[in-house]
Structure 1
Amino acid sequence: MTDRVMLPDSLLTQESRVFAAPPKLAAIYDAYSWAAHSLKARAWLQAAFVFNLILMPFDYLIEPSLLTATLVIRGIIASAILIGLYMLWGRQRPNWVQGATLTVLAATIMLEAGALGALGGVPLFERYLTAGLFTFATAILFFPIEFRWTVTAVATAVALHAGMIIIGPVADPLLALGISCFYSGAILTFATTRKATLRSQWKGFRSKIRELRDQEALAKLFAELQLVANLDPLTGIQNRRSTQEDIDRIWSSTAGDRPPIAFLMIDIDDFKNLNDSLGHAAGDECIKTVANKIRDAVRDGDIVSRYGGEEFLVVLTSTTASGALAVAERIRKSIASLRLENPGSPTASRVTVSIGLALWEGDQTPEMLIGRADAALYLAKHKGKNQTVIAPPPDGVGARSGPAKTHPSGKHPAKKQSPRSVA
């Protein structure tokens, strides 16, 4: 419904009419107007049916000789037509069917009034025709049909009124015709009012559609901006801020029943030397290539983010120690196999990465887990790069010693049991 081909701005902002709208939009408007206004037409038909029955004893009181005629004309014929039209408006019909119902109603009302008026004699004839004309005038305001069908129904009612004045029992045909023209002008005023109402409804519908379309466009733009705000512009993977939000969401939603989680801190070895040797353009290309390799090596539900300049954080959810190590090694080996040149590296002529791996154990916060992974990454660098080091569990968990920590001087202190490394 918000297709810009179907809903061009010219149609939604400029003055237009229903018949000028694309078929799909016209169909939507028909369904909209039907739901909003069909109850009015059915209410009028129901009221007309009841009023028709009330007029039967009125006919008899005015002219007792009309008893049989009113029973047949009002009680059977007109009532059957009104019930049929009421049932027809029970569900949406094509526009021409809706329009034809008002024409049928005009003919029914005028022929009923003319027949009973003629049988009642000269005094009743003109009164009944006039009453019939104004009864039909009220129907114009309640039937939500196209203006051309309203004009057709009005023409039918006016023609029947004038025709019966000419051939019916009237004292002064010319005077009666003059009065008929006066009443016809009033009916046309009702029809013009109905036209203005229809135009107002169409304008309101277009405004509503334009509002919905603009809201959808704004929501789409907001989603795109939100996506851009969550991504690293160079690599297209998540940035540090959005990753932190995801980690916080994981920790809050799985508190007390958290599946095994592993953090990988990944850093490109000797990246500064590569930048200095080949330039920043080559450095950017290297970061993008490494990011793609990391993303390809993990599952869809895992988190891959650019944590710093050449540093990446990977969050592996619902994993095991062996599974996390397998992912880390897959990442490391796939990058080493790229054969990217790194002439500034004192240890390798190709681009490699070092990885620190930390498993969630005990009552740890994300910050503590990142700290352990970062300490393991430092040790991987210290031990010669291009390897994965697994951080030991935190103090008080398991039999192994506490996590690796950096010394204030920048040197890693000696440990009785250092983190394990896989090269």
Structure 2
Amino acid sequence: MSASPQVRYQPRGPAVMAEVERLLAGRTRDIRLRGELGRLFQERSWSRTAKIIRAWMIWVTLLDVLTLGLNAILLPKAVALSMLPPACLLPPAALATAFIWRKPRGVWLQRVSLLAGLFLILLSVALVGVSAGGEFYERHLNIMLFVAITAIIIFAIPLAWTMTVASLALGLYLIFQLQNPGLERGSAVAGTLFFASGIIATVVARRTITILAQKTFLLELRDMRRVAELADANARLERLAKTDPLTGIANRRWMMETLNRL
């Protein structure tokens, strides 16, 4: 049975609580959780983050398989077959990432697995359009950016990871657009800059959501400490009420309560 949140995430030591008070006294946008506070926040949020990542990976896999089936039915056979090899890259990458995120592991393994999995997913979506060519070329590049944006929005991961995902998506988009036979180099760069502005705004929004979640966590820690201090004060008052101040032994009130209890 897992420990209750108040026991599991109870801050340790006055230094931690001093840091909590310092962060809450400053501006919200300046909140940065480091050391023990960062560890406690990651421990608290890991389960929810892992569930979201696993669900996203599974749904992306299902949608990929469904799309392949529809393409086989609706599109010419030659086009559908050209899409098949790159599309088969996505399910193993997504399911492997979901498997790794089933339980807590080393931070480096979580980071490498997530970023590698997302890169292969984005690459697979882009290559499907590149392989099919024609109208599918740019369409699937736009779909790739949409997939990246959804991951940026819903994955509560460190900012450095989020920026890496954004860079991978924009880098793939620019590389494939520069190779697009139906697009001039200037148009490819202009299109990348246009989408970059939207992705940067999304990263900033994700960072704001993370900061607000961290502030909520700090408020919870402060409230937990205050509740613990209040409980200690009440316990001390109760002991004083049942103890003779001169002798330090139990008084008549303690005796009557004990007799009534017996």
Do the structures match in fold with TM over 0.5? yes
Q: Given residue 93 of structure 1, which amino acid in structure 2 is its aligned partner?
A: R
Q: Which residue of 2 aligns with 1:138?
A: 150
Deviations for 1:87-116, whole angstroms, at most 9, x for unmatched residues?
111112333433334432442233223322
Deviations for 1:130-172, whole angstroms, at most 9, x for unmatched residues?
1111111111122221011101111111111111211333332
Q: Which residue of 2 aligns with 1:71?
A: 84
Q: Given residue 81 of structure 2, which amino acid in structure 1 is its aligned partner?
A: T
Q: Are 1:8 and 2:17 counterparts?
A: yes
2:119–2:168 Cα contact (<8 Å) kept: yes
Q: Which residue of 2 aligns with 1:335?
A: none
1:38–1:144 Cα contact (<8 Å) kept: no
Alignment partners' CA distance in 1, 2:119 and 2:154: 17
Unaligned runs of 5+ in 1: 251-423
Q: 1:19 Cα shift? A: 4.1
Report 1:209-228 matches (<5 A). Answer: 209-228=221-240
1:140–1:194 Cα contact (<8 Å) kept: yes
Superposition TM-score, scaled by structure 1 size: 0.54
Alignment partners' CA distance in 2, 1:2 and 1:136: 36
Q: Which residue of 2 aligns with 1:98?
A: 110
1:70–1:116 Cα contact (<8 Å) kept: yes
Superposition TM-score, scaled by structure 2 size: 0.85
Q: Which residue of 1 aligns with 2:120?
A: 108
2:129–2:137 Cα contact (<8 Å) kept: yes
Q: Which residue of 2 aligns with 1:193?
A: 205
Q: 1:236 Cα shift? A: 0.5
2:156–2:210 Cα contact (<8 Å) kept: yes
1:63–1:120 Cα contact (<8 Å) kept: no
Find the structure with the greater CA-based Rg.
Answer: 1
Q: Are 1:82 and 2:94 counterparts?
A: yes
SS at match of 1:202: helix
Structure 1 pair 79–209 and aligned structure 2 pair: CA distance change class (3 A): same
Alignment partners' CA distance in 2, 1:196 and 1:100: 24
Unaligned runs of 5+ in 2: 1-9
Alignment partners' CA distance in 2, 1:29 and 1:6: 16
Alignment partners' CA distance in 2, 1:97 and 1:144: 17
Deviations for 1:11-68, whole angstroms, at most 9, x for unmatched residues?
2433464543x33x32222121012332111111111011111221344434532333
Alignment partners' CA distance in 2, 1:102 and 1:181: 25
Q: 1:207 aligns with which of 199, 215, 219?
A: 219
Deviations for 1:244-287, whole angstroms, at most 9, x for unmatched residues?
2222222xxxxxxxxxxxxxxxxxxxxxxxxxxxxxxxxxxxxx
Report 1:11-50 matches (<5 A). Answer: 11-12=20-21, 13-15=24-26, 17-20=31-34, 22-23=35-36, 25-50=37-62
SS at match of 1:5: helix
SS at match of 2:13: coil
Q: 1:147 aligns with which of 146, 155, 159?
A: 159
Structure 1 pair 199–101 and aligned structure 2 pair: CA distance change class (3 A): farther
2:97–2:114 Cα contact (<8 Å) kept: no
**CA-atom RMSD in angstroms:** 2.1
1:107–1:156 Cα contact (<8 Å) kept: yes
Q: Which residue of 1 aligns with 2:195?
A: 183
Greater relative CO, 1 or 2 (CA 8 Å, sep 6+): 2
Q: Are 1:156 and 2:165 counterparts?
A: no
Q: Which residue of 2 aligns with 1:391?
A: none
How many residues end up aligned between the 2 structures? 247
Alignment partners' CA distance in 1, 2:160 and 2:93: 23
Alignment partners' CA distance in 2, 1:211 and 1:85: 36
Report 1:21-420 matches (<5 A). Answer: 22-23=35-36, 25-60=37-72, 61-75=74-88, 77-250=89-262
Structure 1 pair 93–238 and aligned structure 2 pair: CA distance change class (3 A): same
Same amino acid, percent of matched pairs: 23
